[in-house]
């Protein structure tokens, strides 16, 4: 069972498109893209840069350090077969919640799990 933690106001995330939040002492980069909310660990696994300062492009966040492109739904990087930790997300009553227990893939995600098919928390 997830212990959901409120991390942001949905309106602010929609306006800014990305935010740095925190849950359980861990920095979490939140992204709003095409009506969905995604959460990835903020510190990049490659060069320890802040993904919350990265660019979102075609369903990926581009790290400002060395331009690794992380798939928003899965955290996967095709070029290097590595994965950025992600967090389950839900949106309720105009607030964004995450389960603070990160998920890390060890194998490449299936096509239906990736952007644009695989999605984060959908706004109703």
Position 62 in a domain: yes
Position 124 in a domain: no
Q: Are 56 and 32 in contact (CB under 8 A)?
A: no
Cα 98 from chain centroid (whole Å): 10
Residue 92's domain spans which residues?
5-118
Q: Are 112 and 29 in contact (CB under 8 A)?
A: no
Domain containing 58 — which CATH number?
Answer: 2.102.10.10
Going residue by residue through the chain, which has 124 residues, state the pLDDT in tens, using 9 for 90 and above. Answer: 579 999 999 999 999 999 999 998 999 999 999 999 999 999 999 889 999 999 999 999 999 988 999 999 999 998 777 899 999 999 999 999 999 999 999 999 988 888 887 777 777 5
Domain count, the chain: 1
pLDDT of residue 11: 97
Position 19 in a domain: yes
pLDDT of residue 82: 84
3-state secondary structure the chain: CCCCEEEEEHHHHHHHCEEEEEECCEEEEEEEECCEEEEEECECCCCCCEHHHCEEECCEEECCCCCCEEECCCCEECCCCEECCECCEEEECCEEEECCCCECCCCCCCHHHCCCCCCCEECC
Taking the C-alpha atoms of residue 76 and residue 9, their distance in angstroms, rounded to an integer, is: 26
Position 123 in a domain: no
pLDDT of residue 124: 59
pLDDT of residue 1: 53
Distance spanning both ends of the chain, measured CA to CA: 23
Position 88 in a domain: yes
**In DSSP terms, which residues pair with 86 in a beta bridge?**
40, 103
């Amino acid at each position: 069972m997830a212990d959901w933690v409120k991390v942001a106001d949905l309106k602010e995330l929609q306006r800014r498109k990305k935010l740095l939040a925190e849950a359980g002492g861990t920095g979490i980069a939140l992204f709003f893209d095409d009506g969905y909310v995604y959460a990835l660990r903020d510190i990049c696994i490659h060069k320890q840069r802040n993904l919350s300062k990265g660019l979102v492009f075609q369903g990926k966040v581009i790290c400002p350090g060395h331009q690794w492109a992380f798939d928003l739904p899965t955290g996967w990087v095709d070029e290097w077969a590595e994965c950025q930790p992600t967090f389950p997300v839900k949106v309720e009553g105009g607030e964004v919640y995450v389960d603070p227990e990160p998920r890390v893939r060890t194998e490449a995600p299936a096509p239906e799990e990736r952007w644009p098919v695989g999605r984060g928390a959908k706004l109703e």
